Amino acid sequence: MSDVLFSTTAAAYAVACVLWLVYLRGGEAPAVARAPWALGIGVAAHLLRDGLRWGLEGVAPSAGIGPTLSTLALAIATAMLLLRRAGPRVDVIAGFALPVALGMLLASRVVHSGGTPSGATFVVHVLTNTLGVAAAIVACAVAIAYLLLERQVKAKRLGVLFRRLPSLDQLETLSARSVYVAIPALTVGIITGHVVAARSGRASGLPWQQLFAMSTWVVFVVLAVLRALGAWRGRRAMLGTLAGGAALLLTLAIYARRG
Amino acid sequence: MSRTSIVVVGLSHRTAPVELREQLAVPLDSLGATAKEIAALPGVREAMLVATCNRVEAYVACESATRSVEALRGFFAGRAPGSAVGDCLYEYADESAVRHVFRVASSLDSMVVGEPQILGQVKEAYAAADSAGALGPTLRRAISRAFSAAKRVRTETGIATGRVSVASVAVDLATQIFGTLAARRVLLLGAGKMALGAARALVVQGAKLSIANRSYEKAAELARARAADAHPLEDLPLLLTAADVVVCSTGASRYVLTVEDAKAAMKVRRGRPLFVVDIAVPRNVDPRINDLDGVYLYDVDDLEREVARALSLRGGSLQQAEKIVDEELTAFERDRRTQAGAGPTIAALREHFRSTMRAELERSLSTKLKHLGDAERAALEAALDAAVNKLLHAPTVALRSQAATEDGEAMAAVVRALFRLPEADPGDER
């Protein structure tokens, strides 16, 4: 049952992602109308699968690296599903974020899940980090959309993206808000991570993992400060967001390898 | 008998980049004088110059198309020395030239097909050439017919309704940059018609309008009618810090908005994007500002390229409009053949009959009929005139009706030969 649900989830995410990406490359509009449905099916199957594993097998969403990656993938997919409420055309951003969610979901099956701490602080650590990572991935997906659209407008080659992506202003606002959500979530996540590590008497991660985790946080904080000061907007801010996103993915990759 | 040729030589957005069109730009108040200058070229009888931001074209009526094309090419080369103007010029003669002016006036050759400005611009060119004394009967007839064709195209096709235009592309771009335009500020520099149209389209979307002009009075006048605020052009640095969209269309021959202006404004704007639409030719905005972060510059060529792309997806009205142009062209050519072939021949035939009758009458009145009084002489003269008219009625009708056909010129030649009529003046198409 769990395997069927896993396959359904992966297939649904892949279909939704392909439909949105094909649409952004000039595909027919009627086909993309099925993408939110595919994503919805994927999220439902994902929820059911992780819920069943927790209820029947006792595998909590934070019980090791594998379940955590799966939870992160679910958070990103759910964020993409909710994103369409942010305005017209915004849902297509999912085309840029779902590959990350799909990658995390697939990785959750292959990484070795070692023993994990428990307790309320650890739950807070996992929840806040999940929220922070999901928000950061949304910010990065929006930043990719912004940079592609901005390049078309600047180069005066208005193609399909011009007609199918949200406005630059909308993307800028969405990316900024996502970063503003990611910062406090990641802040709490990092602090609680250290507390959990101290209590369990082991290091909170490999030195590289700590470095990239802190880099992510620093980049996002600097970005938020520069935005607030009005020094960085538009392309620069989006490149900064992607730099933060890259550091975050490296952190997650090391985390997954650590097992 | 040789017929007066109609020739057009020029360049447009299709053949020449904006940089070259700028070099050949002719201000409205110089159109008449330049047309007069063209009319004085060797072999040219009449001239009209159409100069817009998208095209510069000289229309002439002349004796020899080949000679006039040569003269006009030389004229354009002289106005843009050292440029590649020769490679960008196109030329049409006679039927092709008339078709071209019909299409131009009907806005079928515009990149913004269906846009209304071009008809007004051709009318302005016509009025300028007319008041400068550069027009004659040949061009008058052709251009008047072009206006009729344009009117039919506008009223009988949907080409002007729901059209894609520079203004709509500007709105699309502004919307894709700023999202909603409500509460955004549009700054209009200058008072060009197309720029006003674009500004109006943005304001309709909810944007607020500021107008700056070299003449504050002109800005205030425009602002009053549009619920906008008016400023002198000296306020530009300050206005740039507040505006989201700048639409430029001044008559200035240098950049009104420079890189330095934009850089200074962007510092104060703290990275807020600035969308600049430069509809002027010569351009008002230094193109290098597009390299600045957050500044998006579109000139008239950029906008019209987008319009053309959108229009290429549309077809029905265009086909209908082209059919109207064909019909009008056929009618014009038929009339022209009538006028050119039959008109001078009929006039010469009547003159020949009248002068012969008058000479014979004079001889009789001075010899055998010298006893007649003034009343009788007048009555006799009137009777002979009436007889000439009746005698010539049938040949006149035949000449006119045949003139519209391929055989018209042959028939006119036969009549001339039969009555030994003098060759008509090619320009005499009364």
Confidence of residue B3 (pLDDT cuts 50, 70, 90): low
Residues in a beta bridge with B274: B295
Q: What are the extents of the domains in chain A? A: 2-258
Confidence of residue B1 (pLDDT cuts 50, 70, 90): very low
Which tens digits make up the pLDDT trace of A185-232? 989 988 888 888 777 766 555 667 777 778 888 888 998 898 888 778
Instruction: Please state which of the four CATH numbers 3.30.365.10, 3.20.20.140, 3.30.460.30, 3.30.590.10 is assigned to the domain occupying B5-162.
Output: 3.30.460.30
Looking at the complex, does the CB of residue A158 fall below 8 Å from at least one CB of chain B? yes
DSSP state of A54: I
Which of A167, A234, A236 is nearest residue B175 as measured by Cβ atoms?
Answer: A167
Cα A242 to Cα A136: distance, rounded to the nearest angstrom: 9
pLDDT of residue A48: 94
Which of A154, A169, A232 is nearest residue B296 as measured by Cβ atoms?
Answer: A154
Which tens digits make up the pLDDT trace of B138-157? 999 999 999 999 988 887 77
The question of ipTM being above 0.85 is answered as no
Confidence of residue B162 (pLDDT cuts 50, 70, 90): very low
Active site residue B53: yes
Are the Cβ atoms of B177 and A153 closer than 8 angstroms? Answer: yes
Cα A194 to Cα A177: distance, rounded to the nearest angstrom: 26
Of the candidate ranges B111-125, B299-313, B314-328, the one whose mean pLDDT is the lowest:
B299-313
Which tens digits make up the pLDDT trace of A49-68? 999 988 888 787 777 778 88
Q: Which of residues 220-239 of A touch B (CB under 8 A)?
A: 229-236
Looking at the complex, does the CB of residue A168 fall below 8 Å from at least one CB of chain B? yes
Residue B123 corresponds to which tokens in the numbers above? Answer: 């009318």
Tell the CATH superfamily of the B166-309 domain: NAD(P)-binding Rossmann-like Domain (3.40.50.720)
In b/e form, how buried is each residue of B182-214, taking b as 16+ CB within 10 angstroms?
Answer: eebbbbbbbbbebbbbbbebbbeeebbbbbbbb
Q: What are the extents of the domains in chain B? A: 5-162, 166-309, 334-419
Residue B400 corresponds to which tokens in the numbers above? Answer: 């006119």
Which chain A positions have a beta carbon within 8 Å of B294's beta carbon?
233-235
How many CA atoms does the CB half-sphere of B416 hold within 13 Å?
A: 18
Q: How far is CA B218 from the centre of its chain?
A: 27
Are the Cβ atoms of A169 and B177 closer than 8 angstroms? Answer: yes
pLDDT of residue B145: 94
Are the Cβ atoms of A233 and B271 closer than 8 angstroms? Answer: yes
CA-based nearest residue in chain A for residue B303 = A156
Which tens digits make up the pLDDT trace of A112-150? 665 566 678 888 888 888 899 999 999 999 999 999 999
Percent over 70 (pLDDT), chain B: 93
Residue to substitute from A158, A225, A239, interface B, most B β-carbons within 10 A: A158
Which tens digits make up the pLDDT trace of A7-25? 999 999 999 999 999 988 8
Nearest to A93, CA basis, from A124, A44, A138: A138
Cα separations in angstroms, B247 against B184, B189, B196:
13, 6, 8
Instruction: Show the CA angle centred on residue B12, arms to residues B9 and B13, nearest 5°.
Output: 165
Cα separations in angstroms, B237 against A224, B212, B259, B267, B290:
29, 11, 12, 12, 17
CA-based nearest residue in chain B for residue A88 = B179
Per-chain mean pLDDT for chain B: 86
Does the model's pTM come out above 0.80? no
Q: Give the minimum alpha-carbon distance from A154 to chain B in angstroms, rounded to a whole number.
A: 6
